[in-house]
Amino acid sequence: MTPAQRSPLRLLVAGALATVVGLPALASPPAAAAAPLTSRMVAAAPARVVLPAKATKKTTIKTNLPATVTVNRYGVRTSTTLKVKASGKKLRYVWQSQAPGSTAWKKVKKGKSTTLKLTAKWATGTGFRVVVKGKKGNATSRTAVLTVVGQTDTPALDAQTRFGLSGLSQGVDLSAYQYGVNMRAIANWSGPGGFTMLRNASGARPAHTDYTSLCGGGKGNTGAVPVVEDCAYAGLADAATDRGLKLGHYWFNGWVTSKDPTATQVFANGYTVQNSAADFVGWLLADGNYTTASTDPLVLDVEDGRAWTTKVGSRKYTATLKAWTPVEAAAFVAAVKALLPNANLYVYMSANAASRKTTTGAYVWAPLATTTRLWVASWGSDNGQVPDAEPKTGPWGTWSIWQYTSQLRIAGSWTGPIDGDLAKPDAWAPLG
């Protein structure tokens, strides 16, 4: 076959192959432009598979600190705990503090865990944060700023502003438990119109009970009568009068016949509510700071006492002193009123006790509300501040004296806390 005869045949074969493999048919280029068939039949390259990058465990804070935290210097909630939650590898925690007004951060001693306990030893305005260090970097928490709530030295003014009241005065209540208190410091803190409520006596100890005096540590025994005059009363009353403080006087309810569970009267020894009233009045008048013309508050302190165990022969008896009932309290008040017609009579109790109701919805203490004023204990957070709300007062509808805290500290007066009180302007006026 001549070259001229072979060219058409080659084009025919190439065209047929192009049809089979999907290649475009060859035109009729010059013989020199023809390429080998095998070079025209290359398969497409497979798609490239890209694997995801390996995840890294970066140090991250998951649960942050609050912006602010608060603790009380006294009373309840005197501490709080900061807590952080973080993720990452090989984590370490470094807590830091920043003093008020400073820009420097310092390590907190022993601050090496996920938590940090804060107390009132830190100053208000101190900032706290934690640096979490891990294998894949560090993370720093939000700054939490601490507020330390201390007491107020102006509770009367604070209460007037908060509750829209006027004419309030401030004072304290004292007993032998504060023996040796500096009355000058009390008077300076109380200011004009200040007062002190003094325990005259307590019937909390059973008859024939040995005790150690809180006024110097001397030994004593109640004897046949289950009541003891407060050993600090006379001195405190004189000191308060000398400093121009108004006085109030209270009797702690105690062992009487109706409170003694024994058939032989082991605890009360036959002592009655009326005996209590007579001794209260007798000791008040004998002291001299209270007279028949006085309008000082005369208060029955209605509270539970403690459990006592007493022995008669070879037998032991145990009983707990319970707070007097409204019937017992009413009998005491009536007996005092009979002896002191001008008496400005009060009962003292907690706000919860004052607002207690019977199963029918009546106030338990309603019989006393028309013959006495109310000195009520309601401490709130008991941090030395006036609580956010006035106390519940049950059938009285209002308070005349309010014990707002048991955590008052008065510089130079005493080593420990004292009860703080507020009084309304008419607190020293008998009910009409």
pLDDT in tens, 99-111: 999 999 999 999 9
Helices and strands, number each (H, E), in the chain = 8, 23
Among residues 149, 167, 191, which one ends one of the domains?
149
317 lies in some domain: yes
Among residues 117, 149, 181, which one ends one of the domains?
149
Q: Which of 203, 223, 177, 418 is nearest to 303 (CA)?
A: 203
pLDDT digit string (tens) for 328-363? 999 999 999 999 999 999 999 999 999 999 999 999
29 lies in some domain: no
Handedness of CA 288, 291, 295, 298 (dihedral sign): positive
Among residues 149, 171, 206, which one ends one of the domains?
149
The answer, yes or no, to whether residue 368 has pLDDT greater than 70, is: yes
- On whether both 386 and 338 belong to a single domain, the answer is yes
- On whether both 242 and 112 belong to a single domain, the answer is no
The token pair at 63 is 């649960």
C-alpha 19/C-alpha 24 separation (Å) is 7
DSSP string, 229-272: E-TTHHHHHHHHHHTT-EEEEEEE----GGG--STT-TTTTT--
- On whether both 78 and 133 belong to a single domain, the answer is yes
- On whether both 104 and 221 belong to a single domain, the answer is no
138: domain CATH number is 2.60.40.10
Query: Once rounded to an integer, what is the mean pLDDT over residues 181-188?
Result: 97
C-alpha 250/C-alpha 230 separation (Å) is 10
- On whether both 258 and 111 belong to a single domain, the answer is no
C-alpha 57/C-alpha 286 separation (Å) is 83
Secondary structure (3-state) at 157: helix
- On whether both 193 and 310 belong to a single domain, the answer is yes
Q: What is the pLDDT of residue 55?
A: 52
238: domain CATH number is 3.20.20.80
C-alpha 239/C-alpha 178 separation (Å) is 13
How many of the other CB atoms lie within 10 Å of CB of 11? 16
Q: Can you list the alpha helix ranges (DSSP code H) found in 119-223?
A: 155-163, 183-190
The answer, yes or no, to whether residue 188 has pLDDT greater than 70, is: yes
Q: What is the pLDDT of residue 56?
A: 56
- On whether both 128 and 211 belong to a single domain, the answer is no
Q: What is the pLDDT of residue 432?
A: 75
pLDDT digit string (tens) for 191-218? 999 999 999 999 999 999 999 999 999 9
| pLDDT confidence bin for 137, thresholds 50/70/90 | very high
101 lies in some domain: yes
- Predicted TM-score of the model (pTM): 0.82
pLDDT digit string (tens) for 218-243? 999 999 999 999 999 999 999 999 99
- On whether both 196 and 141 belong to a single domain, the answer is no
The answer, yes or no, to whether residue 13 has pLDDT greater than 50, is: no
The torsion angle over the Cα atoms of residues 12, 18, 23 and 26, rounded to 10 degrees, is -10
- On whether both 120 and 265 belong to a single domain, the answer is no
51 lies in some domain: no
pLDDT digit string (tens) for 16-69? 444 444 444 444 455 544 555 444 445 555 666 655 555 557 999 999 999 999
**Long-range CB pairs of 259-262, under 8 A, 24+ apart, other chains included:** 259/321, 259/322, 259/324, 259/328, 260/319, 261/319, 262/317, 262/319
Per DSSP, 23 falls in state P
Q: Which of 258, 276, 277 is nearest to 267 (CA)?
A: 258
Query: Once rounded to an integer, what is the mean pLDDT over residues 262-284?
Result: 97
Query: Once rounded to an integer, what is the mean pLDDT over residues 111-133?
Result: 96
- On whether both 89 and 161 belong to a single domain, the answer is no
8 lies in some domain: no
User: What is the domain count for the chain?
Assistant: 2
Query: Once rounded to an integer, what is the mean pLDDT over residues 413-423?
Result: 94
Q: What is the pLDDT of residue 416?
A: 87
C-alpha 285/C-alpha 336 separation (Å) is 12
**Which residues, 6+ apart, have CB-to-CB distance to 414 below 8 Å?**
178, 180, 181, 182
Tell me what the pLDDT averaged over the chain comes to. Answer: 90
- On whether both 135 and 166 belong to a single domain, the answer is no
Q: What is the pLDDT of residue 12?
A: 43
Contact (CB, 8 A) for 23 and 40 = yes
The answer, yes or no, to whether residue 257 has pLDDT greater than 50, is: yes
Domain carrying residue 89:
60-149
Query: Once rounded to an integer, what is the mean pLDDT over residues 145-156?
Result: 97
- On whether both 416 and 278 belong to a single domain, the answer is yes
